[in-house]
Chains A and B, each alone.
Chain A
Amino acid sequence: MERGYWIKSKPVYTSLVWHEKATSHLVLAAGIGGMAALKLFQQMHPAQPVTVLYAKYAQMEVDYSATLKKVVPENLHVFKFEEDLLTELKSIMPHMHMGLRIYVAGSEGFIWDVAKAVKPFGVDDAHIMKELTDTLARSVYCVHCKAVTKNVTTNIVPCCGCERMLFVRDHFSRNLGAYMGLMVDAESPGELPAIEEIYP
């Protein structure tokens, strides 16, 4: 990683903190992201209504739902899978108004699935507070065949669509929720740099 160099599209994640100014709050968490939600409830509890949607079984199969049920006073909905959570999210979004603040915690894939789900309702991802928990594993979009390879932990990965060896870039697509992958040995086929795990 070159010092002082940054690809602007690479997302920056923070720790979740309640927005002081809001009319309602919506917390979305999956797997280990449940811990980030629990940490929110260690802060001063907002005066405005709070809704929490939690999916138990993310990639790492951890479950904070029992603890969440103890600390979330109302409107906690627990789901078995992320897809169920996203379905519920899409069904409640039409009833939301300006002043809603959205908080999301989980894997990068989950964060951007949420961003994609709320975008048609007029919520820009810049206004979603995002905490990356879980893993650094990336979704990689093949710029050659357009397939997305999920859960990539290495600097170079074979594309799940065309089997080209892709170099995983920091160049990120908010629309796809994935990093760009480019064929790494196009000019000298078979000559590959060392493959290392850098997104554990």
Chain B
Amino acid sequence: MNMIDVRVAAIEQVTPLIKHFKFVKEDGSQLPPFSGGSHIVVALDAEDRTYRNPYSLMGSPTETDAYHISVRRQENSRGGSAYMHENVSVGMTLKITHPVNLFTLAKMAHKHILIAGGIGITPFMSQIEDLNRIGADYELHYAFRSYKQAAFVEELQKSCGNKLHCHSDSDGKRLDMEALLSNQPLGTHVYVCGPSPMVVAVLETAKNLGWPESNVHNEQFLAPPVGESFKVQLAKSNLEVQVPAEMSMLEAIEAAGVQAEYLCRGGVCGRCELSVLESDGGLEHNDHFLTESEKASCSKIMPCVSRTKGKLLVLDL
């Protein structure tokens, strides 16, 4: 994949768990333009392996001299976010992918309701720049555990004004999804990015209130879960790859030198889909891309986040 070389120009500790990274092109030239909601994949060459993690771009889409991402240090990190926090320093060079947008704003919407949970605020940071520029009607609902752990509240107050609604658990101000999604004007679109229970709550509430699916948008990058070790046979490449417990299938395939397609690496986009030729145990589908019936058929798998419960998987790659 065609990667861009960037230099880490600045790092800011925003909250005890969140760091903000600024990337610039090594030669000082402009980075590719992007639209609000886009993400990049950052490649991190650790000692024994390469991590490739997706992060939303949170700067203004009109400013392309630098990209901004924020990384929350995950408690049960496999190492990617911990590596970003501990090993990445100002002046280092990294490789990133071109921006891809899997979380676009619906241009025809009459009103936009943005719902962020914790670090899920990042894609909305670039989207509100777009919404402000076109003068769109929107509300940003930002839910977090406490003000101490909430990133960018001041910046958001400046850019969103009274369109920002903060919901802090510590104040006992839980976001009431049903109240929020009831009595919204026709033509409203809702967008959610945050922890899984929050995304599920929004999707379920909207569905129960009769919102059409096309008016409900979500983005939830999954970190590849740790599982049991298993073996993958690549039929076309005529190769056997052992997938360790803490590595994703996609990472293990790449480490073995096989080029596989990918975009988001978080179970969202569907680009890395592979055909399963044989498996000796049930598949552990962790993605948000395949339909329930596709998952049940056990004929396709997303190697970025999914695994097998068995010992061996034969793939058409």
Which positions in A face B, CB cutoff 8 Å? 19, 21-23, 93, 96-101, 121-124, 126-127
Contact = CB atoms under 8 A, between A and B. Distances in A.
Interface of B: 108-110, 181-188, 207-212, 214-215
Contact of B109 (A23, A97, A122): A122
A121 B184 contact: no
A60 B210 CA distance: 34
24 contacts: A21-B208, A21-B210, A22-B210, A23-B209, A93-B186, A96-B186, A97-B182, A98-B184, A98-B185, A98-B211, A98-B215, A99-B209, A99-B210, A100-B186, A101-B210, A121-B186, A122-B109, A122-B188, A123-B186, A124-B212, A124-B214, A126-B212, A126-B214, A127-B212
Given A21-B209, A97-B186, 16 more contacts: A97-B182, A97-B184, A98-B183, A98-B185, A98-B188, A99-B182, A99-B209, A99-B210, A99-B211, A121-B186, A122-B108, A122-B109, A122-B110, A123-B186, A123-B187, A126-B212
A48 B185 CA distance: 17
B120 to A, nearest CB: 22
Contact of A100 (B181, B208, B210): B210
Contacts of B188: 98, 122
Nearest to A99: B210
Contacts of A98: 181, 183-186, 188, 209-211, 215
A99 B212 CA distance: 8
A100 B209 CA distance: 9
Contacts of A99: 182, 209-211
A22 B208 CA distance: 7
A184 to B, nearest CB: 36
Nearest to B186: A122
Q: Lowest 5 CB-CB distances: which A-B pairs, in order?
A: A122-B187, A22-B210, A99-B210, A122-B186, A122-B110
A23 B182 contact: yes
